[in-house]
Amino acid sequence: THWRIPHFWMIHRGMHPWKISWLPDVGRFLYKHVHALHHKSYNPTAWSGTNMHPVEATAYYSACLIAVPFGCHPTIVLGCIFDCAVGAWLGHDGFQWPGSGDYFHQLHHMHFDCNYGAMHVPIDKWLGTYIGDKADLKKVWGDKACGAEGNDAPVHPEKAE
């Protein structure tokens, strides 16, 4: 299910504010009305991994349909569904399992505007949204914390406009 990793990054990143001045900010709308439910988990647990709005869950699990036009066996689709569920649980469970990216995603829930993807594929590093520690956070935002003037990304959903 290698296609699931970039699919997840695009779906997840698209549900956060886009910060592109020449496009309507659909991400801000999707965050406020769809993805904010998931971000109510400030300190995520395994159950918060699958705590999603129905629209978000549909987009997330749509990764399983990508291989269908290529004539894949139905067990591939079922395996992808299983991978999506287990991946969400492991990414939020509070333990750092090898390859799980839990700490990486914990930082996303703490700081909101970073680490949208999976740790083992460095899409966030390639696209400048990676934060691994406080030094990386400072590189991205300087001394401005999330929600501060000049950084309008809210840390928690109730601060979303």
The answer to whether 100 and 32 are in contact (CB under 8 A) is no
Give me the pLDDT at residue 77, please.
92
DSSP string spanning 73-139?
-HHHHHHHHHHHHHHHHHTTSSS--TTT-HHHHHHHHHHSSS--S-TTS-HHHHHT----SHHHHHH
Give me the pLDDT at residue 130, please.
83
Report the distance separating Cα 124 and Cα 160, nearest Å.
Answer: 23
Q: How does 7-27 read in b/e, with b if 16+ C-beta sit within 10 Å?
A: bbbebbbebbbeeeeeeeeeb
Residue-wise pLDDT tens digits, 2-11: 788 899 999 9
Return the domain boundaries, the chain: 4-159
Pick out the chain residues at pLDDT < 50.
145-148, 153-161
Hey, what's the torsion of the CAs at 152, 120, 83, 51, to 10 degrees?
-20
